[in-house]
Structure 1
Amino acid sequence: MFAGDVKELWRYPVKGLRGESLRSAVVDFDGLAGDRLFGLFEPGSDNAVWGGSHPKMMGWEAAWPAQCGCADAVSGDPVLYEPGGAAWGASEAGLPERLAETIDAKKGVEIRKVKRDYGRILVVFEASLRKLSEQMGREIEAARFRPNVVVAADLEPFAEYQLERGLPIRLGDNEFTLQKPCERCVLPSWEPHGANVRDMDLHRHIIKELDNHFGIYLRVSDPVTIKVGDAVSA
């Protein structure tokens, strides 16, 4: 049906913040290890503070510190980097105040673990990114869509949305299951590095021309390791 390979792997330790590039990653039923484990919330509530309402969040980065020489390890708390480059441990006392100040969160923020009922990884295809860029007349970065995996494959642009749900898709030696296309929120319309600039034309195009979808979700039951360069096929 199609064949290709994994070009990029990404992990986002804190929802809404920029993430980190990986060479390999462990994936299981809960999703990619260390991905979107933390979120920002209004203090004392379950109201999420997210990039769609606070796009300056994407000026911050989050990463898991390297341990035992393995940059892909996940242990302890992630490290957050503010736009100027200063590093903060996720549990540092002054971090919530600094976050709130820099992302214009008037009610303040708390950083805490996110409750997840299921796991999945988000895959986008280079051919679709190139076609979307052609349609918009400018480069559209993969970072706008916050993928876990970027794939190059001999698949026509946007053909991934016609694939049958439940289809087995192999990444390396591992068989994943296609869950569904990713329905997009407003986040891809915001500049993905925290510039607080919105591309409304892109938002309208995704809704009108792509049925408000970009990327597909895959799931796996047992723990597996995927790597940049792994073959991809279905």
Structure 2
Amino acid sequence: MADSVGVIERLWRYPIKSTGGEHLRSVAVDERGLMGDRLYAVRDGEGKFGSGKNTRRFRRMDGLLQLSSRYPRGTADQGPAELLDPHGQVVVDPTAYLRRHLGRPDVELAREGEISHFDQLPLSVLTTATLDGIRRAVPGVPVDERRFRPNMLVRTPPGTPPFVEDEWIGREATVGDTLRVAFLRSSERCVMINQAQRDLPHSPLILRTIARAHDNRLDALARIVIPGTVRVGDRLVLDGTRAAAIAS
């Protein structure tokens, strides 16, 4: 049975991984995810990508969230991603700037090759119900979706409980007219969500709250079943189809 859970309020794409993203009105989505999302990353001399955490593939690089990225004229097919400094100005030589900004002579801006820049799955979806729940738990701390870096923010009806995304796991959904996705799991959060970015101050309360309230997990992660185009205002409609398990 179909279940309309809300409408797309905002769309976000992050051309350069771990930098501030660009706000879109519509975007094409293929099997990889939003066209151009995290297509570029900051890579160090050991081949690890700049992130908010240290793992086998990623290296924590504080300072990236002070920067942002975009595509010329908003489309990924118009050339490489542009890096913007903390004042919103386009950087002429991204690699040289990143080396100065991060204090690391071994980094460079790199396009995705054989190794994915995604932490897990290509699509992250978050609801306003969950954001509102976090705001109530940390009054006085600025909380918006930029801390959690979703691709889609869904406006849910009044009375929707926080962490309603849990109910989507294992189900497929249609977004707009053509896009179809399968929700498989949620993201395990790290200290990156506490970090300052632009007008959002550093706050350790964010991660602490999510750890206490929801076992450090937040959002719904999906794979793409049928590519399509998504637009602000599109409905997200869940159905009863069970999502196939992702290979480990």
Q: Is the 8 A contact 2:131 2:143 kept in 1?
A: yes
Q: Who is 1:59 aligned against?
A: 66
1:230 and 1:77, CA in 2 relative to 1: closer, same or farther beyond 3 A?
A: same
TM-score, normalised relative to structure 2: 0.81
Between the two proteins, the alignment pairs up a number of residues equal to: 222
- Structure 1, unmatched stretches of 5+, are none
- Structure 2, unmatched stretches of 5+, are 54-59, 239-248
1:48 and 2:53 matched: no
> Percent identity over the alignment?
26
Q: How far did 1:129 drift?
A: 0.1
Q: Who is 1:135 aligned against?
A: 137
Secondary structure (helix, strand or coil) at the match of 2:78 reads coil
1:228 and 2:232 matched: yes
Whole-Å Cα distance in 1 between the matches of residues 77 and 37 of structure 2? Answer: 10
Paired AA for residue 168 in structure 2? L
Q: How far did 1:113 drift?
A: 1.8
Q: Deviation per CA, 1:48-90, whole angstroms, max 9, x where unpaired?
A: 2324533321111110101xxxx3453320111111333135x
Q: Who is 2:5 aligned against?
A: 3
Superposition pairs for residues 37-116 of structure 1, below 5 Å? 37-43=39-45, 45-52=46-53, 53-66=60-73, 71-88=74-91, 92=93, 95-102=94-101, 104-114=102-112, 115-116=115-116
Secondary structure (helix, strand or coil) at the match of 1:221 reads strand
Q: How far did 1:194 drift?
A: 8.1
Paired AA for residue 234 in structure 2? D
Secondary structure (helix, strand or coil) at the match of 2:210 reads helix
Q: How far did 1:2 drift?
A: 4.3
Q: Is the 8 A contact 2:189 2:207 kept in 1?
A: no
Paired AA for residue 172 in structure 1? G
Q: How far did 1:119 drift?
A: 5.2
Q: Is the 8 A contact 2:125 2:154 kept in 1?
A: yes
| RMSD after superposition | 2.1
Q: Deviation per CA, 1:20-68, whole angstroms, max 9, x where unpaired?
A: 011111111111100001111223x2122324533321111110101xx
